[in-house]
Amino acid sequence: MRRLGWSWKNLKRYRLRTGLSIVGIAISAAMLLDMVMLSGGIDRSFAELLLARGYQIRLTPKGTLPFDTEAMIRGVSDVVATLRRDRAVERAGAVLGTSLYGRMGDSLITLFGYGIQPEAQALYSLVRGADLAATDTVGVLLSRPAAALLGADVGDTVTLVGRLDPQVVTASIGRRLIVRGIVQWVYDYRGQPSVGTVLSLMQTLARHRVADEASLIMVRVRGDSLVQPTADRLQRTFPHLEINSVAQLVREFQQRMIYFRQLSYILGSMSLIVTVLLVATLLTITVNQRLPEIATLRAIGLSRQTIVTQVLVEGTLLTLIGSSAGILLGLATAHYLDSILTTFPGLPAAFSFFVPRRESLTTAGVILLLTGCIAGLYPAWLVARLPIAATLRAEAT
């Protein structure tokens, strides 16, 4: 504790220099924390997004990922029925994603439509109103952006129309539906106007009813330990489909986002180098200015180990102060950067690039403290090899 007090007094002797160094360390620490959050945050955010409703397996057309293409699964009712008979499967439901329109007077508003099976839905959380029933063919769920565009609320009637006839520019299929509820769709991007109906109605609007088609099937398994064995078994049962567990989808996502991880490693390494240079430079200048004082202390009996330890403590204290400020700065900048990056087109609003976690804060803190200790090694070495007699003679003359 006494050494800590001495270190703080020594740092206060050069307040401007110390203050500027703390600012520099804080900026470097903030960058390091942001890069640590970025490197692991993307993967974790994606996994949490996929598991938002607890469904661990996706079935899609062969060679595709969910909503990657417009390819469809045919005969989806039979596939879902087979899945629901599997003892390891707790729930299974099909989803159809398609474009359609909402009629507002003489104009049409482009919407994204979800066809769902309400008894096994995994795509939304209810904000207000009521959920759909499995046999409700006159009800519709709206996202808040869709409700705003259509000027509708719970209990109102809206008109949805399917694909337009290109020759007469009119909708070939239309339905007047009652708004049952306002919902938050898990995979919607920010501001996306989306609507949802039971699967059979959406198939009719999108002209997929005859072939009984859907975009994907989502499966919830009874236990996490059963996920991969169930996925492997389903792949053998449905060889014409692509079967992916969340873990497999995360690995695929990691390959697509590898440049973000590489960027985080590069910028994180640069922040560490800057921190080492700042701390080492400050301590070296301070030690050189205090060489006569240190030589005097050594001459009156203070041990070399005590002096060396003192220099190392100063480096650690300087890093600790700068890092504490840097963590707060890093959390603020991460929130700001995340609000910018998540506005990219096509990204779900619930997705995050920077995910603050206890592990991220701990990792960044430990790395920075080690950096402070390493940065103090060179000035500590200068002190350890200081020639006491020669230094005192030079000071006397």
Indicate the range of 237-251, 258-272, 323-337 predicted with least confidence: 258-272
Reported as type and span, the H/E element at residue 125 is: strand 124-129
Residue 331 neighbours by CB distance under 10 Å: 18
pLDDT band at 1 (very low <50, low <70, confident <90, very high): low
Rounded CA gap, 43 and 50, in Å?
11
Q: Model confidence over 9-29: pLDDT tens digits?
A: 666 666 777 777 778 778 888
Reported as type and span, the H/E element at residue 94 is: strand 89-104
Is the model more confident about 186 or about 67? 186
Looking at residue 346, what is its pLDDT? Answer: 65
Q: Model confidence over 352-394: pLDDT tens digits?
A: 777 777 777 777 777 777 777 777 777 777 777 767 666 666 6
Q: Which residues have C-beta within 8 Å of that of residue 304, sequence separation ≥ 6?
A: 298, 383, 384
Rounded CA gap, 174 and 160, in Å?
6
Mean pLDDT over 152-181 rounds to: 77
Rounded CA gap, 54 and 47, in Å?
11
Do residues 35 and 271 make contact, with C-beta atoms less than 8 angstroms apart?
yes
pLDDT band at 169 (very low <50, low <70, confident <90, very high): very low
For 294, counting Cβ atoms within 10 Å of its Cβ (0-12 exposed, 13-18 middle, 19+ buried), the class is: buried
pLDDT band at 167 (very low <50, low <70, confident <90, very high): very low
Reported as type and span, the H/E element at residue 177 is: strand 174-185
Tokens of 208: 């997929």
DSSP state of 13: T
Local structure of 87: helix, strand or coil: coil
Integer angstrom CA distances of residue 386 from 59, 212, 341, 380:
71, 85, 52, 10
Looking at residue 217, what is its pLDDT? Answer: 92
Rounded CA gap, 39 and 354, in Å?
8
Q: Where are the domains of the chain?
A: 2-49+258-396, 63-239
If you average pLDDT over every residue of the chain, what do you get? 80
Q: Which residues have C-beta within 8 Å of that of residue 52, sequence separation ≥ 6?
A: 122, 186, 350
Rounded CA gap, 48 and 154, in Å?
30
Does 157 score more than 90 pLDDT? yes
Q: Model confidence over 66-121: pLDDT tens digits?
A: 666 678 899 999 999 999 999 999 999 999 988 889 988 778 889 999 999 998 88
Q: Are strands 216-221 and 157-161 parallel, antiparallel or unpaired?
A: unpaired
What type of residue sits at position 268?
G
Query: What phi and psi, each to the nearest 5 degrees, are found at residue 185?
Result: -80, 130
- Percentage of the chain modeled with pLDDT above 90: 25
pLDDT band at 143 (very low <50, low <70, confident <90, very high): very high
Tokens of 151: 């000027």
Is the model more confident about 234 or about 107? 234
